[in-house]
């Protein structure tokens, strides 16, 4: 189970009416049937298609009384390196993980600005704190999301809106099941959903977990480059060529 699916089910069981968007209509139908009756609305669509996103938002505004909370969670990961880097695959990851988020925010803002009410949560990752081996595109996209959400909060504060940043560590999902490297402090998707929903009810800007892993990575973020590259390189088994 992915994070988005787990959060949608948790919110639906808490009494929310949840509009879920994904490219796969079959998976959305499964989600609808798994939730309490009438609590999840299937909205098939591709978040990289800006016109489709606008159409979904306009439909929800017209038919369901507006969007109170938007959780932007779409994303993908493919391991890459200097030797395997391809511009097109890099651009595709940035388009889905980062650029599509701007399109979603663009679609949400007219109604939220008019009402002066709205709650946005953007899912980035602790992988965006600093550069990590095997995450050229993914890390860049998540670092971009962190910066984007931080910058966006100034505007949201001015407009009376709420913005939050969600930075998960490793969560057991179909995506992480493909990873061929150790994933410290990994948690289940249902546990991640619990932490996210609890954080959404609070006032903290960042919702980051698990705490021990986040604390370690934030300490690493403060290290000088020479020490950071040495520690992370050794910890992840990166061999440095001799000169």
Can you read off the two tokens belonging to residue 125?
């990752």
The predicted model gives 156-173 an average pLDDT of: 95
The predicted model gives 133-158 an average pLDDT of: 98
| Cβ–Cβ under 8 Å, residues 46 and 103 | no
- Say if residue 1's pLDDT is above 70: no
- Calculate the average pLDDT of the chain: 94
Containing structural domain, residue 171: 65-235
Q: What is the pLDDT of residues 192-231, one digit of tens each?
A: 999 999 999 999 999 999 999 999 999 999 999 999 999 9
Spatial separation of the C-alpha atoms in residues 98 and 122, rounded to whole Å:
10
* 136 within a domain of the structure (yes/no): yes
- Say if residue 242's pLDDT is above 70: no
174 φ/ψ sector (left φ>0, alpha ψ -120 to 50, else beta): alpha
Q: Assign residue 83 the CATH number of its domain.
A: 3.40.50.720
The predicted model gives 9-33 an average pLDDT of: 95
Catalytic residue chosen out of the listed positions 129, 138, 225, 228 = 138
* 121 within a domain of the structure (yes/no): yes
- Say if residue 61's pLDDT is above 80: yes
* 58 within a domain of the structure (yes/no): no
Q: What is the pTM of this model?
A: 0.94
Which pLDDT band holds residue 185 (cuts at 50, 70, 90)? confident
Can you read off the two tokens belonging to residue 58?
């306009």
* 206 within a domain of the structure (yes/no): yes
Domains identified in the chain, total number: 1
Residue 225 annotated as catalytic:
no
Task: Supply φ then ψ for residue 187, to 5 degrees.
Answer: -125, 165
Q: What is the pLDDT of residue 122?
A: 98
Q: What is the pLDDT of residues 26-57, one digit of tens each?
A: 999 999 999 999 999 999 999 999 999 999 99
> Three-state SS across 150-185?
HHHHHHHHHHCCEEEEEEECCEECCCHHHCCCCCCC
* 106 within a domain of the structure (yes/no): yes
The predicted model gives 170-179 an average pLDDT of: 80
Spatial CA neighbour of 45 closest among 61, 25, 29: 25
* 212 within a domain of the structure (yes/no): yes
First to last CA, the chain: 46
* Interior/surface letters 116-139, b for 16+ CB within 10 angstroms, e for the rest: eebbbbbbbbbbbbbebbbbbbbb
Q: What is the pLDDT of residue 154?
A: 98
- Say if residue 83's pLDDT is above 90: yes
% pLDDT > 90, the chain: 88
């Amino acid at each position: 189970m992915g994070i988005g699916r787990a959060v949608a089910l948790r919110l639906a069981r808490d009494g929310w009416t949840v509009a879920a968007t994904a490219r796969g209509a079959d998976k959305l139908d499964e989600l609808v049937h798994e939730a309490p009756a009438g609590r999840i609305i299937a909205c098939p669509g591709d978040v990289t298609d800006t016109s489709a996103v606008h159409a979904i938002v306009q439909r929800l505004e017209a038919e369901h009384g507006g969007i109170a909370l938007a959780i932007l969670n779409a994303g993908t990961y493919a391991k890459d390196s200097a030797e395997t880097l391809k511009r097109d695959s890099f651009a595709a990851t940035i388009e889905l993980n980062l650029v599509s988020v701007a399109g979603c925010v663009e679609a949400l803002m007219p109604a939220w600005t008019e009402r002066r009410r709205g709650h946005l949560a953007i899912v980035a990752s602790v992988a965006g704190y600093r550069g990590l081996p095997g995450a050229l595109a993914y890390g860049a996209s998540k670092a971009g999301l962190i910066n984007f959400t931080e910058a966006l909060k100034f505007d949201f504060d001015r407009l009376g809106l709420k913005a939050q940043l969600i930075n998960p560590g490793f969560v057991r999902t179909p995506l992480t099941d493909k990873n061929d490297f150790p994933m410290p402090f990994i948690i289940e998707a249902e546990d991640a959903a619990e932490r996210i929903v609890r954080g959404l009810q609070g006032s903290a800007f960042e919702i980051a977990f698990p705490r021990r892993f986040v604390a370690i990575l934030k300490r690493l973020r403060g290290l000088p480059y020479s020490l950071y590259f040495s520690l992370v390189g050794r910890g992840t088994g990166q061999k440095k060529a001799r000169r």
